[in-house]
């Protein structure tokens, strides 16, 4: 990654120009930097957890929106494919933009986005505090919806990072009981403070056996995989209840392997969750504004010190997000 001066974008018809005030560093950034995730666009400004202030509006946009504080929805779908027609822009066949993925994102002073992607942010939520809403919280809302987490379910959250903190809280809002799994005590304590019903220390305890014990032998009705290494995927499969749903949110270099007989005898489902819809982002903003979901920000850094944030994330030294303040 390089820090450089580039021309500020101009808002086109229907766009807003957002002066970025906070941009969270997601673990996905590390997948871009390692080359595991390669969407074929370079150079590119990363950053998809974007908060800022509308500085200017393009033609056709209500000029009264100037000055509005917003969170940016990072997908911009074609509007006419079957997925878009269902409101599922995260699955669009012909994306117009995906900020921080294939379109310039929030690790910059300015980002240009369609006006409808600029979701108003209530005054009570601070800029840095709001940054993780744009991916971590809204990804959790989407994944919990997709897995149909319900009343009384046992939900294992494998990986107590920023998305995991969102999942623990959103799963509990659906009436489920959440088990956070991680290696670092400080992150597990944070998960507990956010409402986790139980925590399991990976690397010290047999994770799958411990989840079986906590759930009275039943196993987890839903496992959210945020790590997805060979070791964690094996444990995830072993902790899954009958009719359990193993949902991939995170990934690593490792491939997933399972014998179908295990799925067959328990009627288990393997699924995956990507991104979120605009409606889910709006809901995520409401949940944080109402104090029903809290975000966790480890530190805020000026844009020029982006590398410190990336390095701290890679080293496993953060509890929650590092947020850049351009
Ligand atoms: N599908 C989507 O839409 C979507 C959206 C956002 C993110 N993601 C992906 O989801 C994953 C998580 O993202 P994030 O931003 O939440 O990352 P993060 O903040 O770095 O959290 C990941 C957590 O996993 C834990 N972990 C790592 N290895 C572990 C192990 N062997 N056993 C147990 N826990 C382990 C780490 O805690 P300890 O070191 O304490 O164990 C870390 O806190 C990433 O792969 C990211 O790319 C996907
Ligand atoms: Zn992300
Ligand atoms: Zn589309």
Q: 275, 139 in Cβ contact below 8 A?
A: yes
User: In angstroms, rounded to a whole number, what is the distance separating the alpha carbons of residues 105 and 99?
Assistant: 4
β-bridge pairing 220-225 and 240-248: parallel
> Which residue's alpha carbon is at the smallest distance from atom 10 of ligand 1?
250
Q: Concatenated DSSP letters for 250-284?
A: ---SPPP---HHHHHHHT-EEEE-----HHHHHHH
Closest ligand 1 atom number to CA of residue 37: 47
pTM (whole model) above 0.85:
yes
> Which residue's alpha carbon is at the smallest distance from atom 2 of ligand 1?
274
Q: Report whether residue 147 contacts ligand 1, using a CB cutoff of 6 Å.
A: no
Ligand 1 pocket test, candidate residues 49, 134, 163, most atoms within 8 A of CB: 163
Q: What is the pLDDT of residue 165?
A: 98
β-bridge pairing 220-225 and 154-158: parallel
> Which parts of the chain register pLDDT below 70?
none
Q: What is the pLDDT of residue 257?
A: 96
Q: 132, 166 in Cβ contact below 8 A?
A: yes
Q: Report whether residue 312 contacts ligand 1, using a CB cutoff of 6 Å.
A: no
Query: Helix, strand, coil proportions of the chain in percent (round to 5)?
Result: 35, 25, 40
Which tokens is 302 given?
Answer: 């000026």
Q: 19, 52 in Cβ contact below 8 A?
A: yes
Percent of the residues in the chain that have a pLDDT greater than 70, as a whole number = 100
Mean residue pLDDT across the chain: 98
Q: Report whether residue 232 contacts ligand 1, using a CB cutoff of 6 Å.
A: yes
DSSP bridge partners of 155:
178, 222
Q: Which whole-number Å values give the CA distances from 22 to 33, 66, 72, 187, in the listed order?
A: 21, 18, 11, 23
Q: 310, 159 in Cβ contact below 8 A?
A: no
Using CB atoms within 10 A of its CB, is residue 64 exposed (0-12), middle (13-18) or buried (19+)?
Answer: exposed
User: In angstroms, rounded to a whole number, what is the distance separating the alpha carbons of residues 246 and 220?
Assistant: 9
Distance of CA 246 to the CA centre of its chain: 17
User: In angstroms, rounded to a whole number, what is the distance separating the alpha carbons of residues 207 and 225?
Assistant: 13
Closest ligand 1 atom number to CA of residue 183: 41
Q: What is the pLDDT of residue 248?
A: 99
Q: Which residues of 123-155 are buried (b: 16+ CB within 10 A; e: fewer)?
A: eebbbbbbbbbbbbbbbbbbbbbbbebeeebbb
Q: Report whether residue 251 contacts ligand 1, using a CB cutoff of 6 Å.
A: yes
Q: 146, 123 in Cβ contact below 8 A?
A: no
Dump pLDDT digits (tens) for 206-241.
999 999 999 999 999 999 999 999 999 999 999 999
Dump pLDDT digits (tens) for 149-206.
999 999 999 999 999 999 999 999 999 999 999 999 999 999 999 999 999 999 999 9
């Amino acid at each position: 990654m390089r820090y450089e001066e580039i021309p500020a974008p101009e808002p086109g018809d229907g766009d807003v120009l957002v002066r970025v005030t906070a941009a969270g560093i997601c673990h996905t950034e590390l997948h871009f930097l390692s080359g595991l995730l390669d969407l074929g666009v370079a150079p590119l400004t990363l950053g998809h957890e974007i908060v800022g202030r509308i500085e200017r509006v393009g033609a056709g946009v209500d000029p009264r929106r100037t000055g509005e504080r917003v969170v940016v929805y990072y997908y911009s779908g074609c509007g006419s494919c079957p997925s878009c027609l269902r409101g599922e822009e995260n699955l669009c066949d012909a994306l117009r933009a995906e900020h921080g993925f294939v379109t310039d994102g929030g690790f910059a002073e300015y980002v240009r986005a369609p006006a409808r992607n600029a979701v108003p942010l209530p005054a009570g939520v601070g800029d840095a505090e709001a940054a993780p809403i744009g991916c971590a919280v809204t990804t959790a809302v989407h994944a919990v919806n997709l897995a149909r987490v319900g009343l009384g379910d046992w939900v294992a959250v494998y990986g107590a990072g920023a998305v995991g903190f969102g999942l623990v809280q959103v799963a509990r809002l659906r009436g489920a009981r959440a088990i956070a799994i991680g290696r670092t005590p400080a992150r597990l304590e944070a998960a507990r403070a956010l409402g986790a019903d139980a925590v399991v220390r990976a690397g010290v305890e047999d994770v799958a056996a411990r989840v079986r014990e906590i759930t009275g032998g039943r196993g987890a009705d839903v496992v959210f995989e945020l790590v997805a290494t060979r070791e964690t995927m094996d444990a995830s499969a072993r902790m899954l209840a009958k009719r359990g749903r193993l949902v991939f949110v995170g990934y690593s270099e490792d491939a997933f392997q399972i014998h179908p007989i295990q799925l067959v005898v328990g009627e288990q489902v393997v699924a995956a969750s990507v991104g979120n819809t605009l409606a889910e982002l709006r809901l995520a903003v409401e949940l944080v504004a109402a104090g029903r979901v809290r975000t966790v920000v480890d530190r805020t850094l000026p844009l020029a010190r982006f590398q410190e944030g990336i390095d701290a994330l890679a080293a496993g030294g953060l509890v929650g997000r590092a947020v850049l303040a351009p």
